[in-house]
Amino acid sequence: MAKIKAIRGMNDILPEQTALWQYLEDTTRSVLSNYGYSEIRTPIVEYTDLFCRSIGEVTDIVEKEMYTFNDRNGESLTLRPEGTASCVRACEEHGLIFNQVQRLWYTGPMFRYERPQKGRYRQFHQIGVETFGMQGPNIDTELLLVTARLWKKLGIDHAVTLQLNTLGSAQARASYKDKLVAYLTQYFDLLDEDSQRRLSTNPLRILDSKNPQVQSLLENAPDFHECLDSESLVHFDQLKSNLDRLGITYEVNPRLVRGLDYYGRTVFEWVTDRLGAQGTVCAGGRYDGLVEQLGGRSTSAVGFAMGVERLVLLIEAEGYIPERLKRDTDIFVAAMGDQAEQKSLAMVEKLRDGIPWRITLDCSGGSFKSKMKKADRSGARVALILGENELEQGVIALKPLRTQEQQELIPLDQVVSELSADSRFFKE
């Protein structure tokens, strides 16, 4: 019988990769906690309406990428394609937004029916951050500081650049829309089908088109920044001077609009040229209108989401990977013979009480030679060897595996204290 395979575009993350995933997740978690952010967890399925009303009917996501189905009650549900809508929904439902300040983050799988390729999948993972209740540009700045700090920790700061733009107020966008439509209508026949349709439904989205011919038409399109309202301009100028003062470099990209409807004012993307076409590793912006759009009271909001798969690829190619991630364990314990094996169970428990390193007790039998081979392959720094001889003498042999140092014998009851005091082997 043919074996069943995973769904196209939905990946298994195998043990050899999960260490890197965890490292990215742990590092992000610790940076976010440095800035006082708390985690929120929401279901991965929501009513379809939530995404239609927030992301926008005329967006790639809602038009063609959602996994939508009826449940047994006949209600239309959707696997979440992103996290912001769910976060706003949950915060509103539990009264976390009105008259409050929130700094939140979440992580988990997202689902979009896209053409799978490197850095683009149908189930992918995001780490997202959302903040509520802060209207000035300082919180926009803080989010960029969080991300810049994270890139530095992961050793990929040299490989990413920040693109920045402002989308102004709703009125500014409306008046720009008219100019853009007037301009693009002249070239209607040169537009692709999506853009032709969007000309009447959601023309700003055309700025986001990935079609090179459309992009080249846009080079001479009217300048968005000429339509901007003065308040948005002040907000943008303050953000830019904050970044200048803090030494965060950026490039203003007037055509950066982002693929979702709810953004206004600040938008940004961190991009890399090292991953081919899927170069955006983190994207976000301000969405002051969304809470109200979903039925709450008008609230300032700004956030971003990073693509975990793309960041993992970038760390593999360019980043800093701690040495410990390259080995399976730190200490390999080989006991020879039934009695020694039994004794080693309790000894290893004591060791685990006393020291923080990873300890693997070999439970698979075999000869001394084969155990030493396994010890070597595991990447462990040291092997602890307990055979009949050692047992008789009440000692254990400590064998350094990565240095020329001699094997030494340690009394059984001193193993914990010896190893706790000994950081020779476990620098990273």
Among 23, 106, 124, 425, binds ligand ATP (CB under 6 A): 124
Give the residue, chosen from 23, 106, 121, 425, that forms a contact with ligand ATP under the rule CB under 6 A. 121
114 binds ligand ATP (CB under 6 A): yes
Nearest approach, Cβ of residue 259 and ligand ATP (Å) = 4
Helix-strand-coil split of the chain, %, nearest 5: 45, 20, 35
Q: Which of 154, 172, 281, 314 binds ligand ATP (CB under 6 A)?
A: 281
Q: Write down the least CB distance from residue 11 to ligand ATP, Å.
A: 10
**Signed CA dihedral, 197, 201, 204, 205: sign only:** negative
Distance, in Å, from the CA atom of 136 to the CA atom of 221, rounded to the nearest integer, reads 30
Task: Give the C-alpha separation, 227 to 4, whole Å.
Answer: 55
Binding track, positions 210-249, relative to ligand ATP; x by CB under 6 A: ----------------------------------------
Burial of 177 (0-12, 13-18, 19+ CB in 10 A): middle
- Closest to ligand ATP by CB, 114 vs 229, is 114
Would you count residue 425 as binding ligand ATP (CB under 6 A)?
no
Is 285 one of the binding residues for ligand ATP (CB under 6 A)?
Answer: no
* By the rule CB under 6 A, 329 interacts with ligand ATP: no
Q: Is 82 a binder of ligand ATP (CB under 6 A)?
A: yes
Q: How far is residue 42's CA from residue 107's CA, in Å, rounded to a whole number?
A: 10
Nearer to ligand ATP by Cβ, of 231 and 251: the residue is 251
Are 50 and 115 in contact by the 8 Å Cβ rule? The answer is no
What residues contact residue 139 under an 8 Å CB cut-off, 6+ apart? 131, 300, 302
In the complex, minimum distance from the CB of residue 87 to ligand ATP, in angstroms, rounded to a whole number: 14
β-bridge partners, 12: none
Shortest distance, position 277 Cβ to ligand ATP, whole Å: 8
> Among 220, 211, 219, 221, which Cα is nearest to 191's?
211
Q: Determine if 300 is a binding residue for ligand ATP (CB under 6 A).
A: no
Using DSSP's 3-state secondary structure scheme, residue 378 falls into helix
Q: Is 27 in the site for ligand ATP (CB under 6 A)?
A: no
Residues in touch with ligand ATP (CB under 6 A): 82, 112, 114, 119-121, 124, 126, 259, 278, 280-283, 305, 307, 309-310
